[in-house]
Chain A
């Protein structure tokens, strides 16, 4: 929570008299304004000597607050954005593409749930290889299960070129579109995601765009921090979820997370859940 003093250079109305007035009401940063009653504050301003300047200060703070939230869209604008940006990425696995209506959706968080050894990593690898032909893929690997050989195998099956050399070239090119990061705790994942966010924000938009983010598997990062008594673990899990949803929506990524058990009820909202057990085994 940055102190109000930092705003003075950009907004000279937030001078020391304004800050002193705010401090007398226990407001030291912009976030404090959010939990205070601004109308009551305006009423106090009326009683003060320099009420005009203070009122301007409060109006300025309100316009700063207006920049702090997501923009309002109307239905037509949302629909336009969905049609233009939020396409579907086919995974290459027929059954799953059928279940999900074409593939995994950009702008949404898709979760693969299943017991161990039900093929979740294979689905992630196959999806990565399928999408990497056209877009960049970020693969966050938490269990050392990323296998370039497997990806090359999947690619080998789909590429229909005569010469081995040309095939090799294509495989190399597609593989270079997949970036793999190994993370072993949730804070390292936050680090990677924040770096990704700043990279995507300043990307110029040319060339191969990143369209897929795979986290395999997210339960290995979350279960160590989740304990029954502490609330920090759940808060971390929710923050991770919201960061992924934000990346998906604002930067037009499809996010695919694999999860070890059935999701903990009520905390992992916001995804299409695809239970692999029956699809793969039965």
Chain B
């Protein structure tokens, strides 16, 4: 008995070893333009912004960085080499734009490395380079998984069957999904609010309204993150200009008792004034670990190198960072201005 108790006290690893292990297994990702705050697998990042503020573009940028390999054929692409999943709830994803951006990234990395070593002398070399690029392009595109949902029941059905699909992918292709992108999370908000007037028979039957649907969505994603650790990035369309404080959240939180209390955190910690009106239910808000606000500016003065491209402002709301980042969107992706 004594030795059994003693074995509890034996250390498994030092803190330094643990830090090294965790950093190797779950490294911090610094994806521009989200480079101010390191994010890692297991985080839930919410990108809020009015429409046409390049939110989807940031998701695409993250997906491309995820699917590109770190190194391939001697050229370093600086990617992660994992799969990315894109759940399109807005149903307006443009694959041609995505493939354009991917191609540009591949060619940019290829040309910048070749210039350093030696110039491309023969046609054959050029053709071979093109062939490699095409091969890499096909490889990366196969790592990008896409689906769209036209209503909440399709979204829930997708989430519920995602675990088995990921298991299948892992067994068949050895692919590990590192990134889950949702565009946009509030898409069915009004649809679900509108359907809450159905009254259903049955005593303990859950009715299909916004609160239950959101709880189910959050629960499914949480469960998924336990088994398949991924970084979740979701966009959310908001209307800027309405200043409502988050005190409203704490009041409404009391009205709907959360199903699983051990999972929900307190919302009372953030008492900041948000520059937009929050409409997502409290269960989603407490699930989000990082929050960013993106918006368009009319500022053309900073934009000397890239005229005709809009400049966007990025602000970290959670954790709050005091500076604003300016970036613009070009053909090769996101370009940080300041």
Residue in B90, B141, B203 whose beta carbon sits within 8 Å of that of A75 in the complex: B141
How many inter-chain residue pairs (CB < 8 Å) link A and B? 142
Please choose the segment from A31-39, A48-56, A136-144, A169-177 that sits at the chain B interface, where 4 or more of its residues have CB less than 8 A away: A31-39
Tell me the residues in window 229-255 of chain A with beta carbons closer than 8 Å to chain B beta carbons: 231-232, 234-236, 238-239, 242, 245-246, 249
| Contacts known (A75-B143, A238-B190); A70 close to B154, Cβ less than 8 A | yes
Chain A residues whose CB sits within 8 angstroms of the CB of B95 once the complex forms: 75, 78-79, 82
Q: Is the Cβ of A65 less than 8 Å from the Cβ of B161?
A: yes
Q: Is the Cβ of B92 less than 8 Å from the Cβ of A238?
A: no
Q: Is the Cβ of B190 less than 8 Å from the Cβ of A234?
A: yes
Chain B residues whose CB sits within 8 angstroms of the CB of A62 once the complex forms: 160-161, 164
Contact residues of A with B, CB < 8 Å?
A: 1, 23, 25-28, 31-32, 34-39, 62, 65-66, 68-76, 78-79, 82, 108-109, 231-232, 234-236, 238-239, 242, 245-246, 249, 265-267, 269-271
Chain A residues whose CB sits within 8 angstroms of the CB of B140 once the complex forms: 75
Q: Give Cα A68 to B154, complex, Å.
A: 6
Residue in B142, B148, B187, B215 whose beta carbon sits within 8 Å of that of A269 in the complex: B187
Chain A residues whose CB sits within 8 angstroms of the CB of B71 once the complex forms: none
Chain B residues whose CB sits within 8 angstroms of the CB of A71 once the complex forms: 147
7 contacts between A and B (CB under 8 A): A25-B204, A26-B206, A34-B156, A37-B219, A79-B141, A82-B95, A249-B148
A43 CB to nearest B CB, Å: 13
Query: What's the interface size class on B, roughly?
Result: 35 or more
B209 CB to nearest A CB, Å: 9
Q: Give Cα A71 to B161, complex, Å.
A: 11
Q: Is the Cβ of B239 less than 8 Å from the Cβ of A265?
A: yes
* Smallest Cβ-Cβ distance to B152: which chain A residue: A34
Chain B residues whose CB sits within 8 angstroms of the CB of A34 once the complex forms: 153, 156-157, 160, 216
B141 CB to nearest A CB, Å: 3
A28 CB to nearest B CB, Å: 6
Q: Is the Cβ of A235 less than 8 Å from the Cβ of B147?
A: no
Q: Is the Cβ of A266 less than 8 Å from the Cβ of B239?
A: yes
Residue in A75, A108, A249 whose beta carbon sits within 8 Å of that of B142 in the complex: A75
Please choose the segment from B191-199, B246-254, B296-304 that sits at the chain A interface, where 4 or more of its residues have CB less than 8 A away: B191-199
